[in-house]
Structure 1
Amino acid sequence: MSYPSNHPTPHPDDTAAGIEVTAEFERFTQRNDMFTRAFWDDRIRSKQTDQFFASYRMEAAPRRGDGFTQRDFALRNASWLVSDIISNRGNDAGKREGFQAAIANDTPVAPMQQPVDDPARMASEIKRIARFFGADLCGITDMDDRWLYASRVDTRDMSEAPNDLPQGMTSVIVMGHQMEENLVATYPSALAGAATGREYSHEAAVVMQLAAYIRNLGYEATASMNDTGLVIPYAIKAGLGEYARNQMVITPEFGPRLRFSKIFTNLPLTHDTPKPRGVRAFCDICTKCADACPVKALPFGPPKISTDVSAIKGVRKWTSDAEKCFGFWAKMSSDCAICMRVCPFNRDFSKWQNKAWLKIALSPLRHLALWMDRKRGGRKKPGDWWARDI
């Protein structure tokens, strides 16, 4: 399936989703994402970035200090194992599955096709099966090709390659995978990186199993993680949450503490709708993430149209300085999510106190909610995480 390089036509649900696409819109070329640029762009690649990637193979000496010991790096790297196994199997073909290429089908599409007389009932069934396999959230939206990458990356030489999908895909199933709250509380640390890696490994299994289920029903299903398209707009359009200043999707169940995966399919399904509740208005008055960022990579002020090479063109939104952000990651030899940790929405919303706070935060009393949050979000000592478990 081929797609035009530009697709600025507005969609009916853009306003509800809080997505502002301008006439300058261009689909994003994945070769320009920051992690890919670190392999080919001399302005980004450095000894520090090479050490950053090497640390995930324990080839770079771990830093000293709480949260950056060999044990911390060992747990982080072990948490990535399942994801790494999947992503490495397409290396010979230049396809890092789940990151620079869609996950290859492990099962064929069944020759007999299960009739779907009620797409709404089938959508409910898909969400049930997603939860059965381990997804924490699941929503479904239409196949909006604006958010597909204009091209993917051939990892053998980092060149552009066709971003192909089977013909006739009509829906995108988006799943959310919760990161462990106690690990997130230790950012920045290598230990906290285990929260990220564990969910990439979890989502790899979940998204592959759900896609296999759909193929067994006789329909196309392409499993996808960071590859193929931008998951955030799909998650917002699927009603899972709202976009925030920290570049994350704020959900009413877990705040920003999620990773997302997706499946492209032609299975007949009804689509969810965006559910704006007031996160944008809260972020308009809150700058905790931008204030806490050690390299000031997050924006202050209102959403803007970015001209950064690693940002999508022609969309008015809050956009980070990806080079500053990744530079800090490279310096630490681990990912950083301070912006996730300090976010006022980073709460356990199964507790009545946090449900009450959420109601205030999404109301005209949002200034009160921000004041109530003023002492939250401090970093927990990684050593305490180890000691508590013992």
Structure 2
Amino acid sequence: MAQPTPQHDLDRAAGIEVTDTFEPFAQRNDIFTRAFWDPAVRTARTDAFFASYRMEASPRRGDGFSQRDFALRNASWLISDIMTDRFAEDGRREGFQAAISADTPVAPVQMEIDDKRDMSREIKKIARFFKADLCGITAIDPRWHYSSRVDVRDLSDAPNDLPDDLTSVIVLGHEMDAELVDTYPAATGGAATGRAYSQEAATVMQLAAYIRNLGYEAVPSMNDTALVIPYALKAGLGEYARNQMVITPEFGPRLRFSKIFTSLPLAHDTPKPRGVRAFCDICTKCAEACPVKALPFGPPEVGGNNVSALKGVRKWTSDAEKCFGFWAKLASDCAICMRVCPFNRDFSRWSQRLWLRLALSPLRRLALWLDRNRGGRTKPSDWWSAP
């Protein structure tokens, strides 16, 4: 009988179950890229969805979908958009379909690292200085790297290359504005997403520049290059949930994640399972609230039937076509599943930390019952009129 490997033990601690049918994911098959080339996904609505980010499509009428609401959402994306579009003519939509190019050369002299643990503490301090809300570090794991990236000029597969000497992945979490999240699925909610992306673009590039100035390779990355959720789980930042998000003890699901691949000698964090899986086993609030029923109700299953699903991993998997189809209908992103999640709370308050302890304990059913009347939507007009 084969003995479990250290990699297997780390997977298990992170709540990751990889099967013999596992295949690395080709980024061309993610639902957003498919919206440009796959006739099963691309429609007039999807074209209007992307055009709305340039105000080329007329905003819908109604609370949360006015010109002002779309203006806020689109402005929130500005910094991310500027960074992303720099090399689009070369086929690289950086941060989404390609890793972010280095704006700083690697210093010719390496700073000597005496203690990896001290260096990891320093990196986390600098990450906070550059406005990351969470930071964890884990070993590089090529299983989660895209088998190919996308050349955006013709949407063909392109090599997903990284330098050979990279050893660690720094995973950064960026909180989304709680008040705007409560307005989902309005365009105002989309502003919470865009602002987090713009912040992470700045943070990940600045932290990578710091590392390169120390004399070590650092490749900043957002949605590109690799799946970030497995890395966030293995870096100990949170646990995977039914709503396809990472639940963190600090912010629940209300985060975006970025990452840096680096050769800097660093100590690695370990997964910290606390009991989110057991809570999600009895909670289906996100699946019930999804307007198009794109989220699963049952236990985790081995995915792979859907083109946009990761093959050979036992987990909760959404119906990407249903989900994105609803986004296209709205002309904005939807995160109702984030808004209604029982873990979407302000854990800076002692009462909410007490609820968290209940939720992650054998008293989880009591915590779920206490959550029965939460998760209501804030009207976007109320957000605008608030002092």
**TM-score category (smaller protein):** over 0.9
- How do residues 195-210 of structure 1 correspond to structure 2 at under 5 angstroms? 195-210=192-207
Distance (whole Å) between structure 2 residues aligned to residue 314 and residue 9 of structure 1: 20
Q: What pairs up with 1:10-25 in 2 under 5 angstroms? A: 11-25=8-22
The whole-number CA distance in structure 2 between the counterparts of 1:9 and 1:22 is: 16
Letter paired with 1:354: Q
3-state secondary structure, aligned to 1:153:
strand
Q: For each residue in 1:360-381, what CA deviation from the matched residue of structure 2 results, as whole angstroms up to 9, or x when unmatched?
A: 0000000000000000001110
- The aligned counterpart of 2:384 is 386
Query: Any conservation in 2 of the 1:188–1:337 contact (CA below 8 Å)?
Result: yes
Given that 1:289 and 1:298 are in contact with CA atoms closer than 8 Å, whether structure 2 keeps it comes out as yes
Distance in 1 between residues matched to 2:88 and 2:363, nearest whole Å: 52
Q: Does the residue aligned with 1:199 lie in a helix, a strand or coil?
A: helix
3-state SS of paired residue (1:25): coil
Q: Is the Cα–Cα contact under 8 Å of residues 10 and 21 in structure 1 kept in the other structure?
A: no
Matches within 5 A, 1:243-258: 243-258=240-255
What secondary structure does 1:138 align onto? strand
Equivalent residue of 1:191, what SS?
helix
- C-alpha distance after superposition, 1:227-279 (max 9, x if no partner): 00000000000000000000000000000000000000000000000000000
Give the counterpart of 1:295 among 287, 292, 297: 292
| 1:167 Cα offset (Å) | 1.1
What SS is found at the alignment partner of 2:39?
A: coil
Residue pairs, 1:159-178, within 5 angstroms: 159-178=156-175
Could you tell me which of 173, 176, 179 is aligned with 2:176? 179
Q: Which residue of 2 aligns with 1:344?
A: 342
Partner of 1:109 in structure 2?
A: 106
Q: State whether residues 176 and 259 of structure 1, in contact with CA within 8 Å, keep that contact through their aligned partners in structure 2.
A: yes
- Amino acid in structure 1 at the alignment position of 2:8: H
Tell me which of 226, 229, 236 is aligned to 2:226: 229
1:14-45 Cα distance to aligned partner (Å, 9 max, x none): 11001000000000000000000000001100
Could you tell me which amino acid in structure 1 is paired with residue 97 of structure 2? Answer: Q
In 2, distance between residues paired with 1:16 and 1:175? 20
Contact 1:187 1:338 survives alignment (8 Å): yes
Structure 2 residues without counterparts, runs of 5 or longer: none
* Cross-structure match for 1:213: 210
Q: Distance in 2 between matches of 1:44 and 1:10?
A: 36
Determine helix, strand or coil for the equivalent of 2:171.
strand
Matched ranges for 1:240-389 at <5 A: 240-306=237-303, 307-389=305-387
**Partners of 1:212 and 1:324 in 2: how far apart?**
39
What root-mean-square deviation, in Å, do the aligned CA atoms of Structure 1 and Structure 2 show?
A: 0.9
Q: C-alpha distance in 1, partners of 2:306/2:180?
A: 31
Deviation by residue 1:97-150 (Cα, 9 ceiling, x = unmatched): 000000000010000100001000000000000000000000000001110000
Q: Could you tell me which residue of structure 2 aligns to residue 99 of structure 1?
A: 96
Paired with 1:133 and 1:76, the residues of 2 have a C-alpha distance of: 23
Q: Is the 8 A contact 1:141 1:172 kept in 2?
A: yes
Q: Tell me what 1:148 maps to.
A: 145
For the residue of structure 1 that corresponds to 2:257, the secondary structure is strand
Alpha-carbon deviations, 1:182-229, whole Å to 9, x = none? 000000100110000000000000000000000000000000000000
> What is the identity, as a one-letter code, of the residue corresponding to 1:202?
Q
Amino acid paired to 2:340? V
Deviations 1:145-196 (A, max 9, x none): 1100000000000000000111111000000000000000000100110000
Q: Counterpart of 1:73? A: 70
Alpha-carbon contact 1:27-1:146 (below 8 Å) kept? yes
Aligned partners of 2:150, 2:231: CA distance in 1, in Å?
21
SS in 2 for 1:340: helix
Counterpart CA distance in 2 for 1:163 and 1:303 is 29
TM-score with structure 2 setting the length:
0.98
Partner amino acid for 2:360? Answer: L
Aligned to 1:3: none
Deviation at 1:10, TM superposition (A): 5.0
Alpha-carbon deviation of 1:11? Answer: 3.2
The CA distance in 2 between the partners of 1:66 and 1:229, in whole Å, is: 37
Aligned pair count reads 382
SS in 2 for 1:75: helix
Residue 9 of structure 1 and its aligned partner are, at CA, apart by 10
Q: Give the direction of change, closer, same or farther, for the CA distance of 1:129–1:328 in structure 2 (3 Å limit).
A: same
Tell me which residue corresponds to 2:25: 28
> 2:27, 2:7 → 1: CA distance?
22
- Distance in 1 separating the partners of 2:229 and 2:165: 22
Q: Distance in 1 between matches of 2:6 and 2:254?
A: 32
- Superposition deviation, residue 55 in structure 1: 0.1
